Chain A
């Protein structure tokens, strides 16, 4: 690897891959190279994987995330690489991808490879190449790092299932939350085909786990991504789709990607980017659903036109609609209620539960725990503090508890 040509390809094919939000290298358990004959490279540490760097967009660099090629026979309106787009094109050879992965890994730049691709010739032709690369990394180079493969929609089931033997995670993007939107913007893709693939892979994963001698098959599970704000689907529609995906196919993650207009994207698409704040609110809601015992109805009940409030995080918005639940006595409330207090994260809740076994919490304890006291002030009571009633009743509550800091976070992004 020593040509400018390779650097140029890398520039194009990394650039084209950055619209995939996933950078996770976790959830696939532990693994490491064996001692035998000095063969093999790499390990999985268990847990969430390692972020090896961060770019100025605040995102973690954990995997070598590239497309095999950005040539594509499909013409999905929202996609920068669609057939009718006039972006610069490139294609890696299979060996180049393998060399880059091994060389980057040896220098401790990355946890592994995230390989996706535009579709060239046929879906099967493309998927075969992706599978060959992963297979060679595993079998010829004994690579034990993380491999995340993007499965190509419409590729044959046998190829997709084979990919599962080499990959720690497989993903297939639903792209848009409804089949109508998909028909409109990605005419060659079909939601039933995509969910069909998810079902089959989920079945294979279950089989492998249930086997007498459980096989290592896509240990990191499946994930997917939805583009937000390219179509008219409401937040309720998006979150319902997510709940559906999590429960039906046991997806590990649903990623949300705010639509941003691309050159010559066609008149069917909005001219303006979707606010990044909307994407952020959806992630917050997603978290509440998965880790905070919230139900979809809790989050969207009373919401305006089935949309999350951009100005308030969804937990705070829920609290304001349910003021009768507050203040919550931090010394007595059970865990599920503590999790509902705006400003208390799962970790803080754990600490509160632990401390109060030994002594009753006072206000100074909250300060020492570095809780956002300004934000939780109206919602909690402790031994020596309870909020004045007017604090909860005041119409201007929103302005009191809306921390200015949070807005600043998005200053640059808007």
Chain B
């Protein structure tokens, strides 16, 4: 049994190098055990040397599409993702080069599901980031956000922000990594300090007012809203705190029955004085299919 350890978040490059080496050495997926984020020496001896890597590249090529899908899937929280990706690589090599076209194959379906979840999560960053304005020591405005994505998707959303807000200074902080833009260049920082997220923004009250006023209480469709904006995202959204009250006022006859499930873990912390808790992404529950076996040994 080979134990492979991936330290980076997300760990696509590491996985790719390890996988090339394993494939080159004809090690079947059943004999591999993939670990994420683990510390320690288990991975020793499996580091590929440059020579075998070169051979592997020349002996087997995979489509660009497959690699792109792997890159996306490797951002998922699911512990089994690297094992899945290697199994797919193995099967592409030994079983069927057109495997990915078989949309109802179990592994292909799982890959599709991971990729879809990651893409959606990255889209939701673009949608749900709410900057707050602060002044830096030079008195210039900076826009700061603390955002908790479900997967390791920050990097996927960055081109959007550097394009749209090119001429602003901004910081987008997530539990595993922050991106800081000074108008010209991007700096990445691991494990940022969420207390730098300001507790107040003077424009936010107008946004809340707008949100409450543009809602049409005559057309209450809570399910349709929750489908697009599930409660797991509410912690990132200042306006989400208004939702229960808006529903209650729109539908006073049903006030005894809250159409929303009692909120676990919600009560958006946004308005409190205390900064949001720093969450280790590993502690964010994987929504994944074969959920959490712990990463650590």
Contact = CB atoms under 8 A, between A and B. Distances in A.
B215 A18 contact: yes
Nearest to A100: B206
A165 interface: no
Interface residues of B, number: 60
Contacts of A54: 224-225, 228-229
A100 B131 CA distance: 15
B206 A6 contact: yes
B101 A355 contact: yes
A57 B239 contact: no
A212 interface: no
A413 to B, nearest CB: 6
B219 A57 contact: yes
B48 to A, nearest CB: 33
A51 B126 CA distance: 9
Contact of A107 (B123, B203, B212): B203
Contacts of B218: 57, 260, 273
A368 B109 contact: yes
A53 B223 contact: no
A10 B209 CA distance: 7
B214 interface: yes
Interface stretch (B64-72, B148-156, B159-167, B275-283): B159-167
Contacts of A1: 202-203, 206
B209 A7 contact: yes
Interface in B173-219: 183, 201-207, 209-219
A33 B103 contact: no
B44 interface: no
A288 B98 CA distance: 33
* Interface residues on chain A, size class: 35 or more
Nearest to B102: A358
B297 to A, nearest CB: 35
Interface string A10-45: 111011011100000000000011010011111101
B134 interface: no
Contacts of B168: 41, 106
B202 to A, nearest CB: 6
Interface stretch (B17-25, B30-38, B73-81, B245-253): B245-253
Given A43-B164, A56-B250, A108-B130, A14 B214 contact: yes
Nearest to B143: A106
A159 interface: no
A57 B228 contact: no
A257 to B, nearest CB: 10
Interface stretch (A59-67, A178-186, A216-224, A237-245): A59-67
Interface in B134-152: 143, 145
B103 A107 contact: no
Contact of A18 (B104, B160, B201, B216): B216
B104 A364 contact: yes
A390 interface: no
B101 A18 contact: no
Contacts of B228: 51, 54, 58, 60
A281 B131 CA distance: 39
B57 interface: no
Interface in A356-370: 357-359, 364-365, 368-369
B244 to A, nearest CB: 9
B266 to A, nearest CB: 15
B130 A107 contact: yes
A56 B210 contact: no
B220 interface: yes
Contacts of B210: 10, 14, 64, 66, 104
Contacts, number: 168
B246 to A, nearest CB: 5
A55 interface: yes
B104 to A, nearest CB: 4
Contacts of B215: 18, 55-57
B101 A354 contact: yes
A50 B127 CA distance: 6
Interface in A100-119: 100, 103-104, 106-109
A260 B130 CA distance: 34
Given A100-B206, A109-B207, A368-B109, A55 B101 contact: no
A404 interface: no
Contacts of B183: 38
A57 B101 contact: no
Nearest to B220: A412
Contacts of B98: 358
Nearest to A17: B214
Contacts of B160: 43, 45
Nearest to A103: B203
B291 to A, nearest CB: 20
A18 B210 CA distance: 11
Contact of B223 (A2, A52, A364, A409): A409
B43 interface: no
Contacts of A17: 214
Interface string A264-293: 000000000100100000000000000000
A351 interface: yes
B224 A58 contact: yes
Contacts of B49: none
Contact of A41 (B109, B167, B246, B247): B167
A307 to B, nearest CB: 22
Nearest to B229: A54
A45 B165 CA distance: 13
A53 B221 contact: no
A413 B220 contact: yes
Contact of A358 (B101, B247, B259): B101
A103 to B, nearest CB: 5
B56 interface: no
A413 B126 CA distance: 30
Given A53-B128, A64-B210, A368-B104, 13 more contacts: A1-B206, A11-B209, A18-B215, A32-B163, A43-B163, A43-B164, A54-B228, A55-B225, A103-B206, A107-B131, A358-B102, A409-B223, A409-B224
6 contacts: A38-B167, A40-B167, A43-B163, A52-B127, A56-B246, A107-B130
